[in-house]
Each structure stands twice: as structure tokens, then as C-alpha cells.
């Protein structure tokens, strides 16, 4: 046995002990998390961290190792915080937007007993999943009327989060006004431009001034706060309840099939589902994309959807998104994915879900 082998043998034995100690430490950390949750305490305790570092590093025999030890124990506590976040936030769900927005409604319907956290931007919600601030994020993926929400796909390509399920929310727009107002009182209508467009057939019967607003929920809030009976908003029924408004006209969208598909995004791929989504790039050469499609066809899987999106850091180059019908854990599926992975770059399974 040479020197390297001997040293590695020692490391192996130490790693066994450290693994066991790590598990014991994390067990104690679980108890801390439970206590903090019950007593509404913050996970991060800077004084305690300073104490842990100080008390331990002062006893180090090898002076040279002190700075490395500080780094090490800090990393251990960072891991501990991340684990505690996942325990404390296991029933917190995130969405982008304000109370009453369709993302909020979808989140509420999916997780009626969960806690909610809203984010100003989609990216914030995705990062919230990554750092365990929330268990999952509910994000709009596609609307049957206005098409895909490309930004969400870009985030799934960029970050290591995955689609765990999908939820289709029927979007019904309503004309909301102050209590006691009638359709004849209304002079101005506020809403998101897309919502106004979705209700054109209804609106052309009236001579309302149409005023675009940041989003439907904020438009309803504005009308409620204005206390002006000549103002109305186009928004959901839930928003009417939230801001104490009356429904002046119900379900006024032209297309009665207006649906938004939401994706529930988390950190781990579910065990199984009857659909999956992949992303990848291919070389800029003839037939490269066709090759991937042929692999899917060769294995007999049904490709349900394919999209391309531009790569943000390479002009005029694209990545591809594909939805495939089939079970992720099937041996045949695994072989097919392996072949696709070998014939492409940046390959990732970004979702396993039921449809």
C-alpha cells in the first residue's frame, strides 16, 4: 500500500465517523427547528454562530488550521440553516403578484391549508424554492388565449428547479364596482390590458373609457379605495370579495374557454408521473434537432409539444423544450432519455407530472 492509499484509508475511516456525527448533528438541528417554529423564532442566530465558531476554534491545537476550521464550521451551520428552512417552510407556497391575482387564486386552490408568500418577480419565487424559503412556487406557464409565458421556461432552463405538477385555472373576468353602483354609473374601467382585450365583445356595448392598469387585482384595489361609483375594474370574483366590491357583470370574457396553465415548481423530481418535460441544446448543424425527435419516435413515445426559446447569453441560438407522454421511471423511457442526453447538450429533465 503506497502513501496515498494509506492516507485515503485513514480519510475513509474518519469520513464514516463524520457522517455519523453529521446525522446526529442534523437530528439535533431538527429539534432546534421545531422549537423555533413553535416559538416563532428566527432560524438565523448570528450571536449563537459567533459563539459556536469562537468556542471551537479557540481549542484547535493546530494554529494553521484555524481559518479553515472557521470556514468549515460556518459551512456546517449554513447547511443546518438550509435544512431548518426546509422544515419550517414545508407548508409555505409562493407565487408572483399581489393578493387576488390569478397566481394567488391558483395557489390557494392548490394548497388551501398552506401558508402563502408572494414575490414581486418570477425569479424571486424560483430562488425562494432553491433556498427553501418556500416549499413550492406556483407559476403561470401558458394561457389558452395569450400563449406561453416564456419567462417561466427560461427560469426552468436556468435554475435547478423542476415541475412537479400542473394545474389548469379557468380564467373568468368580471366587471366589479362599488356597492350600489350600476352598469349605467360606470364611466371608467381599469384592468390589465390583456384582461380588457379578453372582454372586448362585452365592452363594445358600452361607452366606457378603458384604462390599462398593472394587473387585475391592483385595478380592483384602486377602484375600492377610490370610493368613486363611476369607476369599475375587470378582475376575478375572488378579488371582489377581497376588496369589498360588487360584481356588476359576471363572466364577461369573450372566450369562455380562457384557461391559464400553472406549473407547481419544487426542488426534486417526483417519483413518477405520466408526462415529462425536457430541455436541451443541439449543435448548429443540419439534422441535429431531427435526431432527437427520431430518438423519441424510435422508442415509440408521443412528443406532445415542442418549443424553442432564444439563449440569453448567445445571440441567435436557441434551446428546445419538449413534452413527452410516458412514465419517467420506465426502463424504456430511461434508455430514451439517455440517448437524447448523449446526442445533445445542456440536457435536463425539468418536469415529471400527471396530465
Least distance to ligand PRE, CB of residue 88, Å: 10
**74 neighbors 53 (Cβ within 8 angstroms):** yes
Q: Does 30 bind ligand PRE (CB under 6 A)?
A: no
Smaller CB separation from ligand PRE, 48 or 283? 48
Smaller CB separation from ligand PRE, 52 or 237? 52
Does 8 count as an annotated binding residue? yes
Least distance to ligand PRE, CB of residue 36, Å: 7
* Residue span binding ligand PRE (CB under 6 A) among the ranges 43-51, 169-177, 227-235, 259-267: 43-51
**211 neighbors 231 (Cβ within 8 angstroms):** no
For 176-197, letters b (16+ CB in 10 Å) and e give bbbeebeeeebeebbbbebbbb
**Residue count at the site for ligand PRE (CB under 6 A)?**
11
Q: How far is CA 73 from CA 24, 68, 85, 262, in A?
A: 15, 9, 18, 40
Task: Work out which of 37, 52, 311, 333 binds ligand PRE, going by CB under 6 A.
Answer: 52
Q: Is 99 helix (H, G, I), strand (E, B) or coil?
A: coil
Q: Does 49 bind ligand PRE (CB under 6 A)?
A: yes
Least distance to ligand PRE, CB of residue 73, Å: 8
Residue carrying C-alpha cell 396530465:
355
Task: Work out which of 30, 32, 261, 303 binds ligand PRE, going by CB under 6 A.
Answer: 32
Least distance to ligand PRE, CB of residue 41, Å: 8
Closest among 266, 263, 273, 256 to 326, alpha carbons compared: 273
Q: Does 89 bind ligand PRE (CB under 6 A)?
A: no
Smaller CB separation from ligand PRE, 48 or 109? 48
Least distance to ligand PRE, CB of residue 29, Å: 5
Task: Work out which of 70, 81, 291, 307 binds ligand PRE, going by CB under 6 A.
Answer: 81
SS (H, E, C) 2-67: CHHHHHHHHHHHHHHHHHHHHHHHHHHHHHHHHHHHHCCCCCCCHHHHHHHHHHHHCCCCCHHHHH
**Rg of the chain on CA atoms, in Å:** 26
Does 36 count as an annotated binding residue? yes
Does 84 count as an annotated binding residue? yes
Task: Work out which of 20, 44, 250, 334 binds ligand PRE, going by CB under 6 A.
Answer: 44
What dihedral do alpha carbons 215, 221, 222, 223 form, nearest 10°?
110
Smaller CB separation from ligand PRE, 84 or 215? 84
**160 neighbors 131 (Cβ within 8 angstroms):** no
Q: Does 29 bind ligand PRE (CB under 6 A)?
A: yes
Closest among 85, 122, 90 to 103, alpha carbons compared: 122
- Binding region: 8, 25, 36, 45, 49, 80, 84
- Binding region for substrate: 8, 25, 36, 45, 49, 80, 84
Amino acid at each position: 500500500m503506497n502513501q496515498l492509499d494509506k492516507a485515503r484509508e485513514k480519510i475513509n475511516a474518519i469520513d464514516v465517523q463524520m457522517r455519523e456525527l453529521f446525522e446526529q448533528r442534523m437530528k439535533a438541528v431538527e429539534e432546534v427547528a421545531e422549537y423555533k417554529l413553535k416559538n416563532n423564532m428566527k432560524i438565523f442566530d448570528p450571536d449563537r454562530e459567533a459563539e459556536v465558531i469562537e468556542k471551537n476554534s479557540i481549542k484547535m491545537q493546530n494554529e494553521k488550521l484555524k481559518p479553515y476550521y472557521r470556514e468549515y464550521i460556518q459551512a456546517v451551520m449554513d447547511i443546518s440553516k438550509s435544512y431548518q428552512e426546509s422544515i419550517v417552510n414545508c407548508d409555505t407556497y409562493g407565487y408572483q403578484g399581489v393578493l387576488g391575482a390569478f397566481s394567488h387564486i391558483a395557489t390557494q386552490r392548490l394548497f388551501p391549508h398552506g401558508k402563502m408568500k408572494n414575490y414581486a418577480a418570477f425569479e424571486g419565487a424560483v430562488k425562494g424554492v432553491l433556498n427553501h424559503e418556500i416549499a413550492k412556487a406556483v407559476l403561470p406557464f401558458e394561457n389558452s388565449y395569450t400563449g406561453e409565458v416564456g419567462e417561466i421556461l427560461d427560469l426552468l432552463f436556468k435554475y435547478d428547479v423542476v415541475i412537479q405538477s400542473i394545474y389548469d385555472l379557468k380564467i373568468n373576468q368580471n366587471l366589479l364596482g362599488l356597492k350600489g353602483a350600476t352598469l349605467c354609473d360606470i364611466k371608467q374601467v381599469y384592468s390589465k390590458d390583456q384582461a380588457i382585450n379578453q372582454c372586448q365583445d362585452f365592452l363594445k356595448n358600452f361607452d366606457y373609457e378603458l384604462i390599462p392598469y398593472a394587473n387585475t387585482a391592483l385595478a380592483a384595489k384602486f377602484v375600492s379605495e377610490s370610493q368613486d361609483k363611476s369607476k369599475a375594474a375587470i378582475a376575478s370574483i375572488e378579488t371582489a370579495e377581497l376588496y369589498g366590491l360588487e360584481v356588476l357583470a359576471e363572466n364577461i370574457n369573450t372566450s369562455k374557454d380562457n384557461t391559464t396553465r400553472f406549473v407547481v415548481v419544487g426542488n426534486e423530481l417526483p417519483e413518477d408521473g405520466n408526462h415529462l418535460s425536457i430541455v436541451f441544446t443541439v449543435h448548429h448543424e443540419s439534422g441535429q434537432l431531427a435526431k432527437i425527435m427520431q430518438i423519441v419516435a424510435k422508442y415509440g413515445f408521443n412528443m406532445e409539444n415542442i418549443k424553442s426559446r432564444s439563449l440569453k447569453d448567445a445571440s441567435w441560438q436557441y434551446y428546445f423544450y419538449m413534452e413527452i407522454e410516458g412514465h419517467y421511471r420506465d426502463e424504456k423511457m430511461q434508455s430514451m432519455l439517455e440517448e437524447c442526453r448523449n446526442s445533445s447538450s445542456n440536457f435536463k429533465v425539468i418536469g415529471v407530472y400527471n396530465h
